[in-house]
């Protein structure tokens, strides 16, 4: 079965999903199930003090027996904050050390600060984390992050939560061609065709959150995304026909046409 | 009285609770959390041994939905 490997572990689903922006945990669970995702991102935040402790938690809705958690560093603008957050996450999840590193540069665009990202990645890899790193579509930075020892490179398609789709397939292609670790397109996917295009470029997987959570019907969109990732992957493996710019060629025979 | 900060809010406790007692006191007993005390993570295995002190800055975190 087609699968890809992150830090030595195989995954058959090439769709990774976030757990944010849902109406409630029930919708989160149903959407994640419909997506077929095996890896889900979570954020690390202060617990609400004074809240009813018997309230179910996110991890109850998505049991660790079924899902691999990927704690993120959303909201971190410095390497120090990201490192601190992931160390807390590792403690929270009993030593689980597969993590998503993101260090943001500005709150309006949420564009990654790649300099701080490189700094954080060095420290985290040395500290034994298996780092899946969110980054820009700069091929040099992507390679440097790989050389630092990140287990997956996650270049953006476009701005987080924007749904703008794939802005620069050429850069993504360069990153994919040069990478020796999995490439997961992360951020900016808006609809099914975006996910399919990413897979057709040859990336290993796609990570999305808003595209599903903010669809009118998140459950239906989750299954659409599952199909899109599968379709895009199959098209990639099938080897597409070459593009013939402005050169048409009929698919029906040119001989035996009546009336000629 | 011990004055401290928990998740950014000023708090008081009447005695030097250990981490397990603190979680019970905050009605977080049995919940999956991680604790940072003065910038250092408190390993779960040490919850019974580590006690609150005056001026402590405590962060108690959980996993929530996120992308």
What whole-number distance in Å separates Cα of residue B31 and Cα of residue B20? Answer: 11
Q: Quick check: B67 contacting A, CB < 8 Å?
A: yes
- Give the residue on B whose Cα is nearest the Cα of A46: B61
Is the Cβ pair A49, B7 closer than 8 Å?
yes
ipTM: 0.95
pLDDT reported for residue A53? 65
Is the Cβ pair A71, B63 closer than 8 Å?
yes
If you write DSSP's letter for every residue of chain A in order, what string do you get?
Answer: ---EEETTEEES--EEEE--S-SSHHHHHHHHHHHT-SEEEEEEEE--TTS-TTS--HHHHS-TTT-EEEE--TT--SHHHHHHHHHHHHHHTTT--EEEE--BS-TTT--B-HHHHHHHHHHHHHTT-EEEEEE-S-HHHHHHHHHHT-SEEEE-SSSTT-----S-HHHHHHHHHH-SS-BEEES---SHHHHHHHHHTT-SEEEESHHHHTSSSHHHHHHHHHHHHHHHHHHHHH-PPPP-TT----SS-SSS-TT-
Active-site residues of A, by number, are 100
Q: Please provide residue A108's backbone torsions phi and psi, each rounded to the nearest 5 degrees.
A: -80, -45
Q: Quick check: A209 contacting B, CB < 8 Å?
A: yes
Tens-digit pLDDT profile for chain A (260 aa)?
789 999 999 999 999 999 999 999 999 999 999 999 999 999 999 998 876 666 789 999 999 999 999 999 999 999 999 999 999 999 999 999 999 999 999 999 999 999 999 999 999 999 999 999 999 999 999 999 999 999 999 999 999 999 999 999 999 999 999 999 999 999 999 999 999 999 999 999 999 999 999 999 999 999 999 999 999 999 999 999 999 999 999 999 999 999 98
pLDDT at B58 over 80: yes
Mean model confidence pLDDT for chain B: 95
pLDDT digits (tens, 9 = 90+) for B22-50: 999 999 988 999 999 999 999 999 999 99
Is the Cβ pair B44, A91 closer than 8 Å?
yes
What whole-number distance in Å separates Cα of residue B19 and Cα of residue B25? Answer: 10
pLDDT reported for residue A52? 67
Query: Chain A residues with CB inside 8 Å of B6's CB?
Result: 49
Q: Quick check: A189 contacting B, CB < 8 Å?
A: no
Query: Chain B residues with CB inside 8 Å of A69's CB?
Result: 63
């Amino acid at each position: 079965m087609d699968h890809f490997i992150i830090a030595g572990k195989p995954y058959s689903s090439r769709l990774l999903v976030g757990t944010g922006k849902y109406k409630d945990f029930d919708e989160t669970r149903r959407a994640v199930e419909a997506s077929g995702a095996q890896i889900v991102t979570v954020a690390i935040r202060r617990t609400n003090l004074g809240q009813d402790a018997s309230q179910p938690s996110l991890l109850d809705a998505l049991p660790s027996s079924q899902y691999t958690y990927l704690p993120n560093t959303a909201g971190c603008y410095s390497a120090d904050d990201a490192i601190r957050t992931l160390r807390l996450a590792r403690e929270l999840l009993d030593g689980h050390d597969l993590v998503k590193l993101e260090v943001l540069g500005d709150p309006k665009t949420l564009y990654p600060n790649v300099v701080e990202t490189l700094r954080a990645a060095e420290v985290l890899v040395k500290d034994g984390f298996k780092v899946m790193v969110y980054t820009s579509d700069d091929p040099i930075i992507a390679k440097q992050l790989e050389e630092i020892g990140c287990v997956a490179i996650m270049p953006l398609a476009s701005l987080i939560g924007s749904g703008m789709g794939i802005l620069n397939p050429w850069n993504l292609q360069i990153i994919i061609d040069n990478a020796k670790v999995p490439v997961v397109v992360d951020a900016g996917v808006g609809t099914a065709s975006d996910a399919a295009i990413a897979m057709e470029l040859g990336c290993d997987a796609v990570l999305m959150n808003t595209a599903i959570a903010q669809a009118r019907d998140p459950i239906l969109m989750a299954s659409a995304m599952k199909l899109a990732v599968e379709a895009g992957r199959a098209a990639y493996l099938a080897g597409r026909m070459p593009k013939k710019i402005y050169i048409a060629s009929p698919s029906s025979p040119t001989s035996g046409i009546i009336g000629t | 009285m011990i004055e401290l900060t928990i998740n950014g809010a000023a708090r008081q406790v009447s005695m030097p609770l250990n981490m397990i007692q603190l979680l019970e006191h905050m009605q977080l007993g049995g919940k999956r959390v991680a604790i940072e005390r003065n910038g250092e993570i408190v390993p779960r295995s040490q919850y019974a041994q580590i006690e609150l002190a005056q001026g402590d800055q405590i962060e108690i975190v959980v996993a929530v939905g996120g992308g």
